[in-house]
A = this chain, B = another copy of it.
């Protein structure tokens, strides 16, 4: 087999992953990437066609691994809870832990997750579209599981809360040292395991919050009335 090809491609992917994460899509030039990868400038266009296609290749290489781990964990939670629905915490853990573990496993993993978080806000690239194309099915599994775990909660509220939890996760994983805004050095004194616990605690409590808001409560009430009618 032509291992030289795979080597060149992987060296480019590794370098692009790091530089896109560190400097952003616009900030990292193809020239910087080929320098870091020790390959020729033209190799990128030969193997990946364009800079944006290279970015998608970088993302695709690892995102499928994370989604597989998420779904495997969700499958296990659903099997363990059967015939009932798994708890919100079980669903949240199944979603969050594979990402956080990837970020905490080694520097490469941290870099990749940082890149993912960054790309959510990156100009000229729609991470939403990308994930919809590549992870749409996994996302549907999780929103369905959350909705089942919270039968009295309006689906709209469930979606927004899941959305907020994802925001909290990406805020944590996107930029090391950002917590220093609140308290200098806090990140350095909190272990990875504690950070993960804090994130899960926060997310589960936020998702399960009792609806004190009038609008939310009204929607929950009308949903209960509807579900009673259907019985």
Contact = CB atoms under 8 A, between A and B. Distances in A.
Interface in A114-165: 117-118, 120-124, 127-128, 131-132, 139, 143, 155-157, 159-165
A208 interface: yes
Count of chain copies = 2
A166 B181 CA distance: 11
Interface residues of A, number: 70
Given A24-B24, A123-B23, A202-B161, A172 B167 contact: yes
A213 interface: yes
Interface in A161-184: 161-172, 174-175, 177-183
A86 B198 CA distance: 23
A215 B202 contact: no
Contacts of A182: 139, 143, 159, 162-163
Given A132-B181, A161-B198, A201-B212, 19 more contacts: A24-B122, A26-B26, A27-B123, A121-B121, A121-B175, A128-B175, A128-B178, A131-B181, A159-B179, A160-B186, A160-B202, A162-B182, A163-B181, A164-B168, A165-B202, A167-B169, A198-B213, A203-B206, A205-B205
A204 interface: yes
Shortest Cβ-Cβ A-B pairs, 8 listed:
A167-B171, A205-B209, A26-B26, A24-B123, A206-B206, A164-B168, A202-B206, A197-B213
